[in-house]
Amino acid sequence: MLNAKLEFSDLSLSFIRSFPNASVALKNVSLSGINEFEADTLIQAGHAAATINIMSLFGDKGYEISKITVENARVHAIVLEDGKANWDIVKEEPDKDQAEADTLSSNFKLKLKNVEIKKSNIIYDDRQAKINFVADNLNLNLSGDMTADQTMIKSNFTGQAVSVVMDNIPYLSKAVIKGDVQVDADLKNMKFTLKDNTINVNAITASIDGWIGTHEDESMDMDIKLNAPKTQFKDILSLIPAIYAKDFEKIKTSGTATLDAYVKGTMKGDTLPSFDVKLNIADAMFQYPDLPKSVTDITVNARITNPGGDADLTVIDISKFHFNMGGNPFDATLHLTRPVSDPNFALNAVGKLNLGMIKDIYPLENDMQLNGVLDADLKLAARMSTIEKEQYENVQASGTLSVKDMMIKSKDMPDVQISNAALNFVPRYAELTSLNVKIGKNDLAATGRLENFIPYALKDQTLKGSLNVTSGYLNLNDFMSDSSSSSKSEASEEPIAVFEVPKNLDFNLNGNFKKVLFDNLTMENVVGQILVQDGKVNLKNLGMNALGGAMSLNGTYDTSKNPKQPQVNMALDMKNVSFAQAFKTFTSVQKMVPIFEALGGNFSTTLNLNTALGNDFMPDLTTLTANGLLQSSEVNVQNVTAFNALASALKNDKLKSFNIKDLKLPFSIASGKVTTKPFDVNMGSIGKMNLAGNTGLDQTIDYIAKVDLPDSKLSNYVKSMNVKIGGTFTSPKISLDYGDAAKQVLGSALSTVTGGTVTNLEDVSSKALEEAQKQADKIVAQAKESGDKIVAEAQKQADALVAKAANPLAKAAARQAANAMVAEAGKKADQLNVEAQKQAQQMVDAAKAKAQ
């Protein structure tokens, strides 16, 4: 019946606990979506139970469920941008089964009288309407006879952290709420009238009068008014989370405050009812009793109104916002109309904030320090359409925003120090004239300009910028890992995680960094261009010193398609970098080229690479593809297990430690394997070796090597040995090709024996008939003599070959070669005799024919 996945660990059924009703309980229940909601869990609950009238199971009037209890639940309701909701999971019945579906639905009668929710969290994420509601640790008890036409529904609820965000504006943040509400429900006409009720939001106590009616066309009529006659300034102050959470009861306040709100009219689709919310604060102040200074002269006149109908008719007006903090006044105003179609705004802000004075006003933690001065003098006024059309003559934007000598210290974060920062505003852009910031050990300086900052702030459009950035020390791990403690060592083991590149940034950064740390890689003298655009970071001509050599990099880090699995495309040029440092630095090298650990010297390489990244920022080796050329003038090879095994097999200890000259190694990576095309390894006096094969992710190896044997006892006969290297790097398996060695010995021996004595048989010419028989006899005799000589010499060489063998390898190769040599000599002798007989007969026949 569901387009979803329903799972639970246990089901229990009791007929005694609620007799004459039955109790059905599920443990560890989860209801998760499919398709676009596959990664989202709609409901997850530790315990869910329902009470059912047993007799209704046997009657024909429908099943009766009287109570539902849910504990330790998490409900995550989502509405996508296209309006599709993740709770719309009931399958639609086909027309041919409609009669059966109607029968099933008629057998289900909900006679609910009580709903209880304990210790649960609710998230409502409406991405179409841009509404986000979060309620943590929610407890709710709802009672009433849902089978009656008219009933009184009673509810009481508490929530420890309730937040409401609409269109990126936080209207409520981590508020503590509780309520006791009675609703006179006309279930026949679906009209609900609010009766005795009390609602608390932090320190504000209010009641709601009015009614709500719902209709079959999904419209709602309402007439609701908020009553908060006893509201004081301290109650309004409680809506600021930091103040409400810190010794709120001890705060001294004075001043007047009023809060009025109503909603009246019809809501259907995009049509809104009229509403009006007003907040006025006059001559207010607050002071913590143990601190010397206060915030005084607090005045706020704010109003949000809409006459009903279009949301674009909403007007936000903060005609006055003023306070004085320790002798420093601050004033701001905001007027906003047409917020949906074409925001028309006017913002003014003038004042100075001395952060060093906050400790005298607000009780900071003992280990927290604040210093610095924030100075603002801003005027911004324009229609969004004029900015988008670049009609900057109709835009008012002027003023400055500056920060000097700011210091923020806390045990939970690295020290932040801004020696100076200054922004100058003009209609086209905001110019960053200076920025010098230090975060922990990291320092950063920048100048440049920011464009399109007003559409970015109001409509989430693209922020454009051009910046020149410099740094003496920048540890990127501090900003990409879960921990950013300033005490982290340069070789921190804290794993870094992938990060999403915002699609609404369009930045051109020219960087010059003396020292940069990223994962285990230390880079110096980093210079290049970084472009941030459309969810991608493009690196252009990024040069640096690293791994004991020099590197240049061009490439892309792309999160536009899948932020959880970025795609990386890089072209890398490395010169004279250390094998050992490359192995130590990169986990992917350790997995795919473990031989680097035992190589001494430096190498250069050109590498083109494409891969997806896992959440830990490591390449997904199953998706990694690459190709390149590795070069080195000299490589020292020592204690490589595979070469040690090869040295033992060939009885040549020189293969355990040697230098490679002028190495050129072409390679490619695909399907989790590093594949090398045939390449020569010049080992100096040892000789040469030709290698080709591949290395797997599991460190399996499969190589074919052709090894020169200049120092072998058989060097006069066996010049090289073909070797198959299999197994793994830690446990290699060596197989020698004795057959090829035997062919080499045989070839040398036969060349010595025949010496060309039978290579001219085809050149014997026909003579006159009187000479034909003589020549024929001569050919046959010569063939027999040569054949006997081949056989005798082969036997002699075979005996000598076996006698000369001084080690097991030589014995094995010599014996096999000797047997093959004698057999081959016999075949050659027989072939010479047959060929001689054939040529002799042909000569005689030809002479006879000519004579005739």
763 assigned to some structural domain: yes
497 assigned to some structural domain: no
> Number of folded domains in the chain?
2
Which of 129, 144, 167 terminates a domain? The answer is 167
428 assigned to some structural domain: no
**Nearby residues of 269 by Cβ (< 8 Å), 6 or more positions away:** none
753 assigned to some structural domain: yes
Q: What is the mean pLDDT of each successive set of 10 residues along the chain, which is 852 residues long? A: 84 75 86 80 88 74 78 89 81 57 51 84 86 90 83 90 80 86 90 89 89 88 89 87 82 91 90 93 91 92 94 94 91 93 92 90 84 92 87 87 91 88 89 92 93 79 90 86 43 62 90 90 92 92 91 92 89 90 83 80 90 82 86 85 80 80 87 85 77 83 80 57 82 74 52 42 39 64 69 71 62 67 71 67 61 51
Q: What φ, ψ does residue 362 adopt, rounded to 5°?
A: -125, 135
Q: Tell me how many degrees the CA angle 546-549-553 measures, rounded to the nearest 5.
A: 60
Which of 141, 167, 193 terminates a domain? The answer is 167
Give the tokens for residue 808. Answer: 């097991």
List 354's β-bridge partners, or say none.
373
pTM for this model (two decimals): 0.65
The answer to whether 657 and 643 are in contact (CB under 8 A) is: no
Range of the domain at 786: 746-851
- Gyration radius (Cα) of the chain, Å: 44
What pLDDT sits at residue 569?
92
Angle between helices 738-754 and 769-804 (to 10 degrees): 140
- Name residue, tokens 């409901």: 43
What pLDDT sits at residue 766?
36
What pLDDT sits at residue 674?
87
Residue from 612, 638, 635 nearest 625 by CA: 612
The answer to whether 701 and 642 are in contact (CB under 8 A) is: yes
**Cα 214 to Cα 71: distance, rounded to the nearest angstrom:** 30
Residue ranges of alpha helices (H) inside 354-446 are 384-388
582 assigned to some structural domain: no
The answer to whether 581 and 548 are in contact (CB under 8 A) is: yes
Which of 167, 189, 220 terminates a domain? The answer is 167
599 assigned to some structural domain: no
What pLDDT sits at residue 301?
96
Give the tokens for residue 104. Answer: 């099933």
Residue from 473, 415, 471, 406 nearest 439 by CA: 415
Q: Tell me how many degrees the CA angle 756-762-767 measures, rounded to the nearest 5.
A: 125
Strand-strand pairing, 114-126 and 63-79? parallel
**Cα 756 to Cα 499: distance, rounded to the nearest angstrom:** 76
564 assigned to some structural domain: no
Residue from 527, 526, 553 nearest 539 by CA: 553
Q: What is the DSSP letter of 828?
A: H
478 assigned to some structural domain: no
Residue from 851, 147, 794 nearest 802 by CA: 794
Strand-strand pairing, 536-546 and 413-425? unpaired
**Nearby residues of 493 by Cβ (< 8 Å), 6 or more positions away:** none
Q: What is the DSSP letter of 601?
A: S
**Nearby residues of 562 by Cβ (< 8 Å), 6 or more positions away:** none
